[in-house]
Structure 1
């Protein structure tokens, strides 16, 4: 509880309770911005239809950053 006229508490990027979760449209806009500004492609692996290409992307990500937690090791 704050007193009338009291200053607001400092804002922090660590304060997770003040912003609603990011929706799919916002995430897609961030992916597009990353591609256009930085040449970084953020692709949901489950959306890659070609089996060979999907596995190649998974292999490269695993090589660079290690396996994901809870990753399914039996294909898609």
Structure 2
């Protein structure tokens, strides 16, 4: 039992027990990012052209640093 004057318990939308985001939901978020903000989200492993994949990997590494843990293409 809680006292009526007791502060409310902290709430967070992250602890509601949601299931993981599905692939369809991820694709919908990627499409929305493209249409609303001009941001393209393409998993690097889905890029089949080796030159383009490496160019994008190089740019991402330059901007944000190397990935921790993920596969290293070409190494």
Could you say which TM-score interval applies, normalised by the shorter chain?
A: 0.7 to 0.9
**What residue number does 1:45 align with?**
44
Higher relative contact order (CA 8 A, sep 6+): 1
CA deviations over 1:22-67 (Å, ceiling 9, x no partner): 0100000000000000000000100101000000010000000000
Once residues 46 and 37 of structure 1 are traced to their aligned partners in structure 2, the CA distance between those partners, rounded to angstroms, is 24
Q: How many residues align?
A: 68
* Counterparts of residues 1-76 of structure 1 (less than 5 Å): 11-15=11-15, 17-75=16-74
Structure 1 unmatched ranges of 5 or more: 3-8
What's the secondary structure of 1:49's corresponding residue? Answer: coil
What's the secondary structure of 1:43's corresponding residue? Answer: coil
Change (3 A) 1:73 1:10: closer
Stretches of 4+ moved more than 2 A in 1? 71-74
Cα root mean square deviation, aligned? 2.1
Structure 2 unmatched ranges of 5 or more: 2-8
